[in-house]
Amino acid sequence: MEVLIPSRIRRKVLLDFARTGGEKVSTGTLATRLKEDAGNLSRELRSLEAAGFLRTGAGPGRQKLYYVGPRKDAQKLLDFLKGL
C-alpha cells in the first residue's frame, strides 16, 4: 500500500474512513483517533478534499466535518481498502 499511497498520514486517513464507514468527523477528533498532529492532518484532509475524495460540512461552532464524497470512485476505493 505504501507504493500506491506514499503519504503515511493519508494512508491512515483513508483506512480510518474505510473502517468507520465514512462517518462525518472533525480534524481534532480524527487527529486524536489517529494520534497525529492536527496541522499535518489538516493539510492531508484538504488535499483529499481537493481531489474530490472528501467533502466538508459545517459542524458545531466553526468546526469543519469531513466525510466521503459522493463520487463513485471514492466509494470504490473505500471498498478496496476494507478488503486489505
Query: Which residue in this structure is represented by grid cell 481534532?
Result: 28
pTM of the entire predicted model: 0.78
| From 5-9, 37-41, 72-76, the region with the lowest mean pLDDT | 72-76
Mean pLDDT of 51-60: 85
Give the whole-number percent of the chain exceeding pLDDT 90.
33
The predicted pLDDT at position 62 comes to 85
Provide the residue ranges of all domains of the chain, joining segments of one domain with +: 8-79
Nearest to 20 by CA among 38, 12, 7, 72: 12
- Pair 17, 68: CB distance under 8 Å: yes
Mean pLDDT of 42-59: 88
The mean pLDDT value of the chain amounts to 83
Count CA atoms within 13 Å of residue 59 on its CB side: 15
Type of residue found at 69: G
CATH code of the domain occupying 8-79? 1.10.10.10
Q: What is the pLDDT of residues 57-74, one digit of tens each?
A: 888 888 899 988 666 666
How far is it, in rounded angstroms, from Cα 84 to Cα 64? 29
Q: Angle at Cα 63 formed by Cα 59 and Cα 64, nearest 5°?
A: 75
Kindly indicate the confidence band of residue 40, based on its pLDDT and cuts at 50, 70 and 90.
very high
